[in-house]
Structure formats: structure tokens, C-alpha cells
Amino acid sequence: MTVLSSASAPANSRRSRDIYALDYFKRPNYLKVYQCLMEGMTDGGYTFSDPWDWQVKKHKAQEKARADAAAAKAALVEAKGRVPIK
């Protein structure tokens, strides 16, 4: 979860006010919505190539699984005293 600074609060309230002012019968100003989203990304230092939060967790889990597998393989080799066949 990202913590917003107090400096970004006025910009965030302005963005949310514009969004919440819409109702079912109003057509959104898509350019303004896009500009607000891009401003938020720029303010937060985010890029389109940043991983999603679940991708970071998945990557960390995969790294841990690889490290655990390598440690288990090394322990098995050490216990048997020979090099395993790949």
C-alpha cells in the first residue's frame, strides 16, 4: 500500500472530486481522467514497466523456492558424497 504525502493531498482531493462529481448520465472527460492518472504516476515515480504487487510477491516466492531447492540439492550431494547426474 502506498502512503501519500500531505503535499499530494490537494491534488488527490481535486482528482477524486472531479471523478466523484460524475453520475450515470454524464460522459467523463477521458482526456482529463488520463491526465490525472498520468500525473499521479509521475508524482509517485511509477512507470508502465513497474511490476504489479502480486508479480513482486510471486517473483520473491520463486526465488525462495529456487534457493530452497538448491540448498536441498547441495545437502543431498554432501550427504551422499557424490555429484548428482543432471
What's the CA gap between 53 and 2, in Å, rounded? 11
pLDDT of residue 13: 67
pLDDT of residue 1: 44
Q: Taking the model in full, what pTM does it have? A: 0.44
* Local confidence pLDDT in tens for the 86 residues of the chain: 444 444 555 556 666 777 777 788 888 888 888 888 898 889 989 888 888 887 777 777 777 778 888 888 777 777 776 655 66
Query: 74: closest CA among 84, 86, 62?
Result: 84
Query: 28: closest CA among 19, 36, 37?
Result: 19
